[in-house]
Structure formats: C-alpha cells, structure tokens
Amino acid sequence: MPPFYTFSPKTTSISFQWPAELTGLERVALSAQGDLQRVLSAFFARPIVIALIYSHTFTRRSETENTLIPLPLPNPAAIASASPESPIVQNRQVHLQCGGKLVCTATSTVKLLSSDAAHLFLEEKYAIGQLFAKMGVTPSFELLDVGIGGHDDAMSVEKGFGSGPNLWRKYRLFVREVECEILEVFASRDMFVQGQAWLDEHSSTTVSPYYRKLSTNTLLWLAVLSLLIFELYTTVLRPTRC
C-alpha cells in the first residue's frame, strides 16, 4: 500500500482507495490525523464534546508475559511505572457530541508506554486527540480501512442511530509514548450535506428506542390508573345524596 500522505518541496498528496460514492467533505473528515474534533468543530462552527461511554484498563502480568490483567484505577504506582516493557492498555468507547447531538462513536485500544502519557490520559483525563496536543507531538497516521455500511471487525459498527448506512473508518495513531487503534462510526452521512441545519433539526440529545418505548408505556399505564381511580370514585366512594 502506498503512503497515505506524501509531499515534496512543491507538492502534497493524499493517496487512498476511497469508496467511489464518498463526497469531498467526507474524505476530509476521514483524513483527519488525530484531530477529528477540530475538523468537526470547524465544520459545524460549534464545540465538540467528548462523552466517555466505557473504559476497561489492563496491564501486563509481567515483563516476560504478554497476558493482560485488569488494572483497577486510580493506581498511581502502576501509572508511574508505565513503560514499553510494562505498558498500560485501555479499551474504550466515546461519543463525539455537538450541540447535544451524537455525531460520531469512537471505539479504541490505547497503549500507554510512558508514565507521562499514562498520567495525562488516566489521571488528567485527556481524550486521545487532546493527549497528543498536550504532549506537543503530531502522531504518525495509518488509515487502515474505510467503508459505508456494515463492518465485520470485532469492534463492530453500532446500529440504531442515524438513517441509512453509516460511514466509518479504522486507523492507527502512534508516537513513541502512545499507540492507538481506533474505529470511528459517523452518526449519519446527512450531516456532511446539511451541516448546521442537521444539528438544528436534531438539536436535542438522541433518545434510544428503548427509552422512547419506556416513556410510551409509562403514559399508557398512567392513563389506565387514572381510569381505575375514576371508576373507584364513581362506584364506591361517591357521596350518597339524601
């Protein structure tokens, strides 16, 4: 595979086998090299907020074993000893939100190879993009795959949000102290066409079908309960007239 990004004194080139149906704006977003939040913030002209959905942290059992064991946090001693020989690994998922709307789901495996990186990520709670910015480094970038629709990887594409097939990409970011493999799934391709209008149309936080069903059922039960109370009053508790 040829390098994704190349340059010469007077030429810059991005080279990748893009799906034919992608738009220019989609290719720009898919080319973000650890700065997708900045790109989306510029596109929507609004802040991008990171919401952590889950995280599972591990450490190597010993320097001679590759077996990972769960690492309870906070754990200053383990963080202080993070190194290439004793890395800390975290599997995590976050939502990128804009204007209260989910715009992208990112599922990642992050390997922390130094105490400084582990401190910033696990104790100071810097997200991946902000972590590289705080460290003052530009990560190397490797775009592994891009697609529209289903994905067969173990980190499968989430279903149930957006309309139509979802746009996704899988890529790697790495510097000497941090290595990341990330799967990003965009909520809807419509947002790249409609921009801020798409946000305004979906200005409130997306409610899952489960909670919509729960709310509907609750209203139905309240209506039934009200009818029962009314019947009880009219048949049993109604005052007798003389």
- Strands, DSSP E only, in 113-177? 140-148, 167-174
Same domain, 118 and 228: no
What is the pLDDT at residue 153?
40
What is the pLDDT at residue 131?
95
Residue 239 CB coordination number (10 Å) = 5
Same domain, 222 and 151: no
Same domain, 60 and 170: yes
Q: Indicate the pTM of the whole model.
A: 0.76
Same domain, 130 and 229: no
**CATH at residue 142:** 3.40.1410.10
Structure tokens at 181: 């493999």
- Tens-place pLDDT, residues 52-64: 999 999 998 766 6
What is the pLDDT at residue 160?
37
Same domain, 133 and 178: yes
What is the pLDDT at residue 236?
55
The kind and range of the H/E element at 60 are strand 49-62
The range of the structural domain enclosing residue 91 comes to: 5-201
The strand pairing partners of 6, in sequence order, are 13
Same domain, 161 and 222: no
Number of domains comprising the chain: 2
Q: How far apart are CA 191 and CA 148, in angstroms?
A: 15
Query: Which value, to the nearest 10 degrees, does the dihedral of the CA atoms of residues 152, 153, 158, 162 take?
Result: -60
Q: List the one residue out of 168, 135, 132 whose CA is nearest residue 33.
A: 132
What is the pLDDT at residue 7?
81
Same domain, 186 and 85: yes
Same domain, 137 and 111: yes
Same domain, 20 and 36: yes
Same domain, 237 and 142: no
Q: How far apart are CA 100 and CA 207, in angstroms?
A: 11
Residue ranges of the chain whose pLDDT lies below 70: 1-2, 62-65, 150-164, 202-242
What is the pLDDT at residue 114?
96
Residue 108 CB coordination number (10 Å) = 20
